[in-house]
């Protein structure tokens, strides 16, 4: 092939690396192009920068942007946007803003476009800072750049993650006023916002509105409304939504079944129902994770059936699912707050909690402040301090 065609071929291969985030392979292709004396252009470097962004390597993205400037004499719009996106993916908000507002665009005779601003919006959104994300979307509009649906959805999702329902709805309204229609992601975010805010009826209403709008809810949509039901202890509603998922050809996963278990526990239903949902998950081919097990452990602990909770700890370990701090906390809190409901003497409770603490620290799990408070109630501050000194070496922060 002529050299020009070879460069085009290699750039096509680099595009595949960029889309998959395979930075190592992209760099290897670049080295081969250099060794074969092929012409390197902005497209070559741009794809490597994107590969760095997709692999969460912001430092590498910046280095390759500098290499583009040296080799090609200037940088292009797409590469600057990809470099900002690299910072966004790494939650490096300050660096993303610095690149957007720095001299790079002006020196290349360019101005930040929608992709560049959207990357800054994403940086703040993914860092759990919805207010700043919204401010940057407003700055985009002030710069006479029309945000796209992705930009709006990023802000809506950021609001949803912290339960800011009104703000999420407001941005949805502004998006539609700009001539952009809401999609499944938009509605799913609103359902999630209501779940996080403890507003299950509103969550269910937004899922219904999605159907009315002619959009097909996906697994994320249903999991969000199931989460709302789980938090509120709405067992019948959660069961109905799980049934709807299956009827629509969707496969409930760990999150789906965890919400059912949480609903059962929150509603004060017999913990055997929680165990039954765990069994149904396994029968459906779902591999339970620590969150699903923890929810069932908590259900039995709340019902003062500590033997069943401890048996589930054993099951987790047998299945190579390491128990977490939360796994132990549910049982220890039940001992702490039993008010005489447990069929254990005070000495029995103390021995059980001490054994659980030893087991937990042997697994290199470190109690958090909440658990330490409950340990102190059962063991007493003096004994807790003795055990802490004896057992704390090598413990790691809990999950």
C-alpha dihedral, 139 to 145 to 147 to 151, nearest 10°: -60
Interaxial angle between packed helices 254-266 and 235-247, expressed in degrees from 0 to 180 and rounded to the nearest 10: 160
Give the tokens for residue 166. Answer: 């009104």
Give the tokens for residue 276. Answer: 């039954």
pTM summary value: 0.85
Could you tell me whether strands 365-366 and 396-397 are parallel, antiparallel, or unpaired per DSSP bridges?
parallel
Q: How many Cα atoms within 13 Å fall on the side-chain side of residue 33? A: 25
What DSSP assignment string belongs to 43-111? Answer: HHHHHHHHHHHHTT-HHHHHHHHHHHHHHHSS--HHHHHHHHHHHHHTT-HHHHHHHHHSSHHHHTT--
pLDDT tens per residue, the chain (399 residues)?
A: 788 899 999 999 999 999 999 999 999 999 999 999 999 999 999 999 999 999 999 999 999 999 999 999 999 999 999 999 999 999 999 999 999 999 999 999 999 999 999 999 999 999 999 999 999 999 999 999 999 999 999 999 999 999 999 999 999 999 999 999 999 999 999 999 999 999 999 999 999 999 999 999 999 999 999 999 999 999 999 999 999 999 999 999 999 999 999 999 999 999 999 999 999 999 999 999 999 999 999 999 999 999 999 999 999 999 999 999 999 999 999 988 765 556 678 888 899 999 999 899 889 898 899 998 989 888 888 888 888 777 664 444 444
Measuring CA to CA, which residue among 284, 287, 364, 285 is closest to residue 323?
A: 364
CA dist 31 and 382 (Å) reads: 64
Residue 293 · residue 256 · CB < 8 Å? no
Q: Distance from CA of residue 94 to its chain's centroid?
A: 22
């Amino acid at each position: 092939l002529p050299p020009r065609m070879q460069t085009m071929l290699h750039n096509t291969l680099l595009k595949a690396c960029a889309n998959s985030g395979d930075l190592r392979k992209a760099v290897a292709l670049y080295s081969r192009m250099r060794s074969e004396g092929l012409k390197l252009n902005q497209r070559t470097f741009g794809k490597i920068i994107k590969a760095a962004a997709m692999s969460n390597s912001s430092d590498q993205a910046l280095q390759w942007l500098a290499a583009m400037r040296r080799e090609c004499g200037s940088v292009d719009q797409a590469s600057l946007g990809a470099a900002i996106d690299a910072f966004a993916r790494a939650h490096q908000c300050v660096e993303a803003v610095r690149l957007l507002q720095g001299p790079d665009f002006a020196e290349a005779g360019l101005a930040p476009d929608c992709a560049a601003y959207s990357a800054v919006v994403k940086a703040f959104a993914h860092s759990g800072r919805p207010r700043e994300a919204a401010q940057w979307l407003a700055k985009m509009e002030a710069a006479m750049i029309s945000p796209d649906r992705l930009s709006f959805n990023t802000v809506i999702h950021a609001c949803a993650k912290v339960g800011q329902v009104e703000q999420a709805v407001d941005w949805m309204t502004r998006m539609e006023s700009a001539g952009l229609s809401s999609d499944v992601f938009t509605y799913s975010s609103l359902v999630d916002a209501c779940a996080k805010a403890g507003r299950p009826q509103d969550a269910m209403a937004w899922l219904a509105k999605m159907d009315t709008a002619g959009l097909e809810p996906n697994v994320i949509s249903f999991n969000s409304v199931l989460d709302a039901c789980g938090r509120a202890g709405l067992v019948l509603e959660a069961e109905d939504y799980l049934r709807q998922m299956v009827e629509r050809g969707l496969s409930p996963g760990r999150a789906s079944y965890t919400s059912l278990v949480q609903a059962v526990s929150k509603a004060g239903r017999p913990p055997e129902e929680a165990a039954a949902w765990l069994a149904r998950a396994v029968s459906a081919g779902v591999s339970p994770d620590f969150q699903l097990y923890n929810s069932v452990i908590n259900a039995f602990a709340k019902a003062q059936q500590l033997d069943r909770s401890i048996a589930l700890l054993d099951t987790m370990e047998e299945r190579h699912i390491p128990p977490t701090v939360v796994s132990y906390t549910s049982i220890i809190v039940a001992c702490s707050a039993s008010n005489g409901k447990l069929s254990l003497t005070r000495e029995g409770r103390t021995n059980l909690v001490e054994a659980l603490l030893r087991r937990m620290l042997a697994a290199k799990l470190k109690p958090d402040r909440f658990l330490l408070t409950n340990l102190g109630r059962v063991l007493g501050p003096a004994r807790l301090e003795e055990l802490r000194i004896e057992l704390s070496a090598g413990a790691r922060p809990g999950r």
